[in-house]
Amino acid sequence: MAEPWTVEQVAAVAPSPRAVAAAEPLAVVARWSALGGDDRSLWGRCRGSGAEPYDTMVDHAEVAWRCTCPSRKLPCKHALALLLLWARGGVPDGAAPAPVASWIGSRDRHRDGGAGAPAGAADPADGGGSGDDETPGGPSGDEPAPPDRDELDRSRDERVARMLEGLTELDRWLDDRMRTGLADPALAAYDTWDQLAARLVDARAGALANRVRRLAGLVGSTPDWHSDVLVELGMLHLLARAGRHLPDLPGPLADAVAASAGWQVRKADVLAGVPDTDEWFVAGRSDVREDRIEVRRLWLYGTTTKRWAMLLSFAAYQQVLDDSFTVGTVVHADLHRYPGGALRALAGERYADPLPFVEPLAVGLDEACDRIGRAVADEPWLERFPATVRAVPTVSGGRWVLADGSGSLPLIGPKRSLATLLAASAGEPVTVTVEWTPWGLQPLTVHLADRAIDIGPRADPSFVGVS
């Protein structure tokens, strides 16, 4: 293979700096299949937002590109991503497949015959388009026009600008709070927090708005509420500063910060990614009410991959939440994960009916703490993380805890959940799936030898679940 380009050379052929930024998330080997290159060309299939992967080819010697995506920009982000991957040594040597060899041959014939096409244009002879509707190989006039990518880019840029303005305003608001101190009577007024949350919603930072509204409920709630509020204000400051430096952060960390701020990723883009296929054990369920919306978290554990995943569902107050996954069952299915290191995923194709209960793999509290600690070290703003542990519920220091030979951790949650946990354990060690929070462990499921008992919190406390 010829000497790879540099990243600067790739940026030089891009239509705009935004195009390079859009290509960066695609410049990873995991997004590509049938990847290869030789002394003249590069090729590969990139998973994008469409149902089928995009076939991308680059003539790096004569500087031309061809892609089956509908982008009007030349080169498109897939061609730029392929070049970036090549520049970083991620494209293996190989023999050009027939379509690539045919395209290169067609370009050479046109060049030698004096009818060479401009760099980046599609050749009429190869029967394909470069993604530009105006090329002979593009969509016919009676087909619907593809989305206006320039308009989409402008919309995205405007949204990014609004979010950055919101994060800047949040940071100024936090500075004001530190100057006035936590004794400021204004903190006891819900409007103080609600107005900030409303501005963050306008700035498309909905996740931060939810954190602000929850923070309002901490004021005056306990004798040591000042320290709790200060910790949360510190987390908001960390996220605000990190969000304002997204372009400088490593890819996975940038994705995690964006998701924590509230950046919405289209479901179609998530479902277009490579799935995690596994026998997923539905370990626990947790419902909560946020504003006027009920949110359900389902924690799934891959029996083969040994990885956790979280499915989220939403419903208006007292409406039915998704109940297609039953706690205590195993489902052979695809899960499509959101960008970054987040556990959130979308359910994809299912390959079999749910299987009955199997006893999950449990760890000690010390190992659970190690795993939770690593997760929090990666994302200090993390609020929840699952674990399945083997421990005994008991009382220590005047409060309920889970304990084993390595130590104990405090329990939180509705009295009904704690009472059911104690009754099911009969004072002996029991396998239980819990949800870690900064305030303690929320028990979700008690796993007995013959069944699983769902004791997770519900948004409507009057609802009595059937285990």
pLDDT at position 3 = 81
**Angle at which helices 190-202 and 149-180 cross, to 10°:** 160
**Mean pLDDT split into 10-residue runs, the chain, 467 residues:** 81 82 87 90 83 87 86 85 90 90 85 47 35 33 42 62 86 91 88 89 85 88 89 92 83 81 79 88 91 86 93 78 89 88 86 84 95 91 93 92 94 91 93 94 94 88 45
Q: What is the pLDDT of residue 139?
A: 33
Strands 344-350 and 308-316: parallel
Tell me the DSSP string of 192-247.
HHHHHHHHHHHTT-HHHHHHHHHHHTTTTTSTTHHHHHHHHHHHHHHHHHHHTTGG
Tracing tokens 């695809």 back to the chain, one arrives at 334
**Could you tell me the two tokens for 140?**
């016919």
Q: What pLDDT is recorded for position 14?
A: 86
Residue-level pLDDT at 112:
66
Q: What is the predicted pLDDT for the residue at 22?
A: 84
Q: Residue 464: what pLDDT?
A: 43
pLDDT of residue 50: 59
Q: What ranges do the domains of the chain cover?
A: 7-126, 151-261, 267-350, 365-454
Q: Is the pTM of this model over 0.75?
A: no
What is residue 124's predicted lDDT score, i.e. its pLDDT? 32
Q: How far apart are CA 310 and CA 257, in angstroms?
A: 17
pLDDT the model gives residue 131: 34
From the list 354, 319, 307, the residue with the least C-alpha distance to 452 is 354
